[in-house]
Structure 1
Amino acid sequence: MSSMNSKYVKLNFRPGFHRETTQYAEEGAWYDGDRVRFRAGRPENLRGYAQKTTTPFLGNARDLLTWSDNDTLRHMVFGTDKKLYTYYTDDTIYDITPIVSTVVVGSGKIGSTSGSVVVSVSQAAHNLSEGDYVLFTSVSDGSGGDIGGLSLNNNNYPVSLVNINKFTIAASATATGTDTGIGTLNYLLATGTSSAIQGLGYGAGVYNAASAGTPGYTSVAFSNAFSVVGSNTNVSVAETGHSHVVGNFVEFYNATTIGGNVVLSSTAQGGPIFQITSVQTNAFSFALSSVANATSAATGTATGFFLPVSITTTAGYRAWDEEADQSGITFEISQWSLDNWGEDILANRRGDGIYYYNVDASSTPQRAAVVSANDAPTNVRTILLGPKRQLICFGCSVFGGDYSPMAVRWADTEDFNQWTPSATNTSGDNILTDGTEIIGAVRSRNAINVWTDNSLWLMTFIGGNDVFGFKQMGTNCGLIATHAAVDFDGRTFWMGEDNFYAFDGQVRNLDCTVKRYIFDRINKTNKDKIYAGINSEFKEIVWLYPSTGQDECDSYVVFNPVENYWVYGTGFWTTYSDKNVYNNTITTGTSSSGSSYIYDNEPVSIYTGTNNTALTSYLESATFEIDDGSRIMFMDRMIPDFTMDNSGSLQFSITTKQYPANTSITKGPFEITPTTKKVDLRARGREAAVRVSCDTAGTSWRYGSLRLAVQPDGMR
């Protein structure tokens, strides 16, 4: 029972997570947690999720758009690194990936083998890559029958390459006979890149170890100058009157073999760059990484380049004909941007052209079509629809010119096929400054916000010959990823390289209580996958991001601009759409089995994951103390104050320490149910922190104001 000397202390902590400093320094706040939000200052667990369909899709979604058509039917469209999909009114996912070219192949070009699923296709210069998709139509054995009994028509398959003139596909069944035939090959938009890749190899960096005529380098042509001893690593080089000193570096190329196995210009014995270990008047020496097989004296030829004497390490230097193992080149992921054209869709995959999806083309969704109008941009970073129904491309070719990553180009009003500027239309272009490339754009109140990698611009419709006006609103506030910005009630919020920002007429740094924690965790190699969304039900801005070591988004950070708090947690979503079309937010993500699905996120009264799995939520406070830690606390009772469903339960634990650097002592966890009146415990320490967690399937809970019986218990 609680001591007569105990005093009940209410454990009320500031809403949101606060961990810009240490757990001790953030006294009076919540410090850590997962799958938790705050309402009216009180924490509660997030609702759960459920797969929307049982059929998975291919790839990882990079953009997601939901809308209702003119008949109030609900739709969604999303693009992955492999396909473009729509989710239709019959609760089915359809592949609407555009066909980019079509080829008719003649007799004998498509072949099957009895008992095998492999179908071979001969097509000269097909230009396909491994994993690209081909849609087969009008396929037959030449007499109206199937080739080898296989139903290939109107199915698409990933290809395996044999050579530049032949590829194979794997049918869904084995052939019943060896056969050949004819057909039409519809090449779908090429499969894209799932993860950012660093460009390596021979052309990915500067050959900077040494080169002829490079200032600061000297070169010497050696002939019959090298001596080695069998089973020894030392190499002696004869050079009359040299000025080298121990520690200098020399790089060799075009070297002949000495000592039976040593080629100084290769990497086999530690070359082609060596550090001098000893010098004599007319010779110098260095060590191999492995021994010579035989003794040879005054033999061999090579050209040696001597690095400047100021060089103390070869780190970052690369010799001629040596592949780069690092570079500043990054091959970007396949990123999509999607927007409505009325009830239809305009789409772009970064680096490709523009595609149009007509919702009413058929009762069954048809494939998106390539916008192939004259002068239409064919290499576009991202798209957005303007205020006067003008399609706008960001990062593209300018009219009559070359590609510019800083170009903004727009089509004529109400016509995305008209890109040629004239006195009778409103198409045009403009090139921004302050940055190296445009990252993304978002519609806001009476304007479009456009970000480069370093600045924010305001794009407004002004009419006249200029059509659009551009005004720079900020610098050193660039966007970290194409989809890392959203507009919420006329204010724009975005994530930059190392900060969060808002724009309400001027750029503002958001006071983020978890900034250091978040930016230290982001996998910057895959930062382009960061995706921002809105949960209007709870007035939240959500950023999905990949954490350190993760290829895909596995974490989130949330800002509530109304209640002004930040939280974070874990998840597996790659895109996020508000509940303005469906009854809950919609997300896409990859399940634990590795398959990608659409999910209903936070449906009402659902507090489980797929197949009713339990979802763990928890909340941990910063440490608290009495009398600024001058006295030890003794705690012997907790009176809970939670609301939860009747079948639910929570776990409560308390952790104490004598000093911040001491090992902590945890008491609990103690189970709390709707009928729990009190928890008796015995905990002692100079500082303490509490933790509330739940891993019971289906439990919804909300924290009220716990009371803890505390009394002074001495000075040490």
Structure 2
Amino acid sequence: MPLAKFNFRPGINKETTDYTDEGGWTDGNLVRFQSGLPQKIGGWEKYSDNTFVGSCRTLFEWSDFDGNQYLGVGTNRKFYVLNDGIYYDITPLRATQTVNNPMTTNGTTSVRFTVTSHGCATGDFVTISGLGAPVNGIPIAEINKNHTVAVVDADNFDITVDTTASGSTSNTGGSLTFKFEIPTGEDQQSLLGGWGASSWNSGSWGYGTPTEFRLWNQDNYGEDLIINYRGGAIYKWDESGGTASRATNITADAGANLAPTKANQVIVSERDGHVIALGVDPISGASRTGTIDPMIIAISNQDSAVDWEIRTDGTSTADQIELNLGSEIIGGLQTRQEILVWTDIALFSLRFVGGPLPFTTSLLARGPSILGPNAAVNGADATFWMDKSNFYVYTGSIQALPCTVKEYVFGDLNYDERYKIFGFSNQTFDEVGWFYPSAGSAEIDRYVTYNYVQQTWSIGKLERTAWIDYGIYQKPRAAKGSSTGYVYAHETGYDDDGSPMDGVFVQSGDIDLQDGEQFAFVSRVIPDFKFIGVDGAGAQTVDLLVRMRDAPGGNLVTDANVAVDSETQVKNIRGRGRQFALKVSSHNDSSQNTANRLGVGWRLGSTRLDVKPDGRQ
């Protein structure tokens, strides 16, 4: 029998069976489709060898008027501005106290401080300054710095230093200043369940309402940065104060007027200079209530981040809008023409129209909601988002996206940790996607990607907690880590931060002859690969596997596994079965020459196989 050429449809399809999807791809990992062909995704490397503390859930990039580039990094324990590879701690302060001789040592590395009504919880941070001389051998630099506290009681807390104190001394240290940071947040969601936790018959009842989860959001206001964690205050970092300055509560800034004391999300409207707060404590009389109404949208005066007073004399464009469908605003996303706002049962449009009340809202759809505050993403001229059982796209009207991996994703998803889900874009490859936690994981461990030009889906296993597409930086940036973490530059080479990328593969649906009437005998393979790795084609290898089975219910068995490089022309193999599938893999395999796995990048073309009938049994 002459050689047969095998071309496969682009995209992963896990909605059908392996046998039904003949001519397609049924599984894969760390593979995308370009020009209809499967190829290994780009690699990543640390953007900076420095680390941040906590688990990062938000990244945002912007630059000042002098071209200095910044990356906002919000974790459950800190907030940083990353500049030239250095993390600058701009976490807001909640209180400052100066106390005389508050220090006690006891001959260990533990040092106790007495500060009346310090307000800390164990794990919170404080910066101590003012120590002028070593105490019992403990150097000044080990005290005058930022510390994590262990609470003893309402008036005492301990820190740990590197040097063991040479003795025990109480009421020492002189006049010390304590700058207490806002409380740290949780990294796991706790759920309020049962009646009243969310709107009955709203589409979200039965999942519970996530609480206690530290989820920052951020947006630039000119050179400055507006930040807010869900359920907390709104803060502003003034870039002119430099990287040594902290973000401050906007209610304490000069000119502050009825600014929200709490909010769930902030968005800076780019086209008109208003700050939009979703889910805020509303105005009542001459003050704010201090309690969030989750359906209220607050709008600042134009070109002001601190003036939120609603005035009818024409001196203010501030406003307060209450949405009328749902029980809670889940999140919002700014698009080119409008701000989209999702409640637990509906999608609204918030549009700038000008005038004394410059924004108007309109209901776009009842029914579609969103899984979490960050589960929407813009791509090309559309907005994509993930609900509890479907993917949607908005281009002026709403459509459910046909999805060939829908059951795979939604059937194995940890809904209790759904607020960790975030959408991402990768413009270079015409992709949007979502990182999400699988059902057996409390943390993000998977992603799903949609190519909106080819209309194809890909899947993979990868741990990332935040992402931002290229902009002022030339590559996408992503965060990973829990107690400490790194920011990575993606689409950089084809390796995992200097190591071979592990677990890369794509596998086809099953192929047969005469609908399986005859066994197929495969004797030769002529591979068709384009090696696109950064180290040149000569040293790169991938594995091409032919896997056989006798019936759809049988296990696939690898009958042939050949190493292929750029000089491979033909390989003799032996494989026999009623059905066979092709698999391509490149991974960190200790049984292979690891050097040949570094820098491997590939794209699969049209594979040719010598296949002939080989009897009915």
1:367 equivalent to 2:249? Answer no
Letter of the structure 1 residue corresponding to residue 190 of structure 2: I
Of the three residues 265, 282, 305, the one matched with 1:398 is 282
Deviations 1:532-554 (A, max 9, x none): 11111111102111112222211
Answer whether contact 2:560 2:575 (CA < 8 A) is retained. no
1:101 equivalent to 2:95? Answer yes
| Pairing 1:239-278 to 2, within 5 Å after superposition | none
Partners of 1:375 and 1:684 lie apart in 2 by 76
Which residue does the alignment assign to 2:227? 347
Which residue does the alignment assign to 2:161? 171
Q: Report deviation, 1:683.
A: 1.6
Of the three residues 379, 382, 386, the one matched with 2:262 is 379
Alpha carbons of structure 1 residues 568 and 680: separation in structure 2 relative to 1, 3 Å:
same
Q: Report deviation, 1:178.
A: 4.2
Q: Secondary structure at the match of 1:473?
A: strand
Q: Report deviation, 1:520.
A: 1.4
Of the three residues 118, 136, 143, the one matched with 2:110 is 118
1:419 equivalent to 2:308? Answer yes
Partners of 2:352 and 2:559 lie apart in 1 by 63
Alpha carbons of structure 1 residues 8 and 518: separation in structure 2 relative to 1, 3 Å:
same
Answer whether contact 2:207 2:415 (CA < 8 A) is retained. no
Alpha carbons of structure 1 residues 374 and 178: separation in structure 2 relative to 1, 3 Å:
farther
Q: Report deviation, 1:43.
A: 1.0
Q: Secondary structure at the match of 1:7?
A: coil
1:622 equivalent to 2:509? Answer yes
Letter of the structure 1 residue corresponding to residue 301 of structure 2: D
Answer whether contact 1:132 1:188 (CA < 8 A) is retained. yes
Which residue does the alignment assign to 1:162? 152
| Pairing 1:298-313 to 2, within 5 Å after superposition | none
Deviations 1:288-330 (A, max 9, x none): xxxxxxxxxxxxxxxxxxxxxxxxxxxxxxxxxxxxxx99464
Which residue does the alignment assign to 1:429? 320
Answer whether contact 1:150 1:175 (CA < 8 A) is retained. no
Q: Report deviation, 1:147.
A: 4.1
Answer whether contact 2:505 2:583 (CA < 8 A) is retained. yes
| Pairing 1:23-422 to 2, within 5 Å after superposition | 23-89=18-84, 91-105=85-99, 107-113=100-106, 115-137=107-129, 139-140=130-131, 144-148=132-136, 149-151=139-141, 154-176=144-166, 178-179=168-169, 180-181=172-173, 182-198=175-191, 328=208, 330-362=210-242, 364-372=243-251, 373-386=256-269, 387-400=271-284, 401=289, 402-422=291-311
Letter of the structure 2 residue corresponding to residue 334 of structure 1: R
* Alignment gaps of 5+ in structure 2: 197-205, 532-536, 588-596
Partners of 2:304 and 2:508 lie apart in 1 by 57
Which residue does the alignment assign to 1:694? 586
Of the three residues 494, 499, 502, the one matched with 2:393 is 502
Answer whether contact 1:607 1:615 (CA < 8 A) is retained. no
Answer whether contact 2:316 2:356 (CA < 8 A) is retained. no
Q: Secondary structure at the match of 2:434?
A: strand
Q: Report deviation, 1:613.
A: 3.8
Q: CA RMSD in A?
A: 2.0
Answer whether contact 2:427 2:469 (CA < 8 A) is retained. yes
Which residue does the alignment assign to 1:710? 611
Answer whether contact 1:205 1:327 (CA < 8 A) is retained. no
Q: Secondary structure at the match of 1:381?
A: strand
Answer whether contact 1:634 1:685 (CA < 8 A) is retained. yes
Q: Report deviation, 1:688.
A: 1.3
Alpha carbons of structure 1 residues 398 and 92: separation in structure 2 relative to 1, 3 Å:
same
Letter of the structure 2 residue corresponding to residue 495 of structure 1: M
TM-score norm. by structure 2 comes to 0.90
Of the three residues 495, 499, 508, the one matched with 1:608 is 495
Q: Report deviation, 1:28.
A: 1.3
Partners of 1:122 and 1:166 lie apart in 2 by 5
Alpha carbons of structure 1 residues 460 and 198: separation in structure 2 relative to 1, 3 Å:
closer
TM-score norm. by structure 1 comes to 0.78
Answer whether contact 1:633 1:684 (CA < 8 A) is retained. yes
Letter of the structure 2 residue corresponding to residue 165 of structure 1: D
Letter of the structure 2 residue corresponding to residue 705 of structure 1: S
Partners of 2:571 and 2:484 lie apart in 1 by 44
Answer whether contact 1:112 1:119 (CA < 8 A) is retained. yes
* Alignment gaps of 5+ in structure 1: 1-5, 207-325
Partners of 1:417 and 1:153 lie apart in 2 by 36
Partners of 2:343 and 2:22 lie apart in 1 by 39
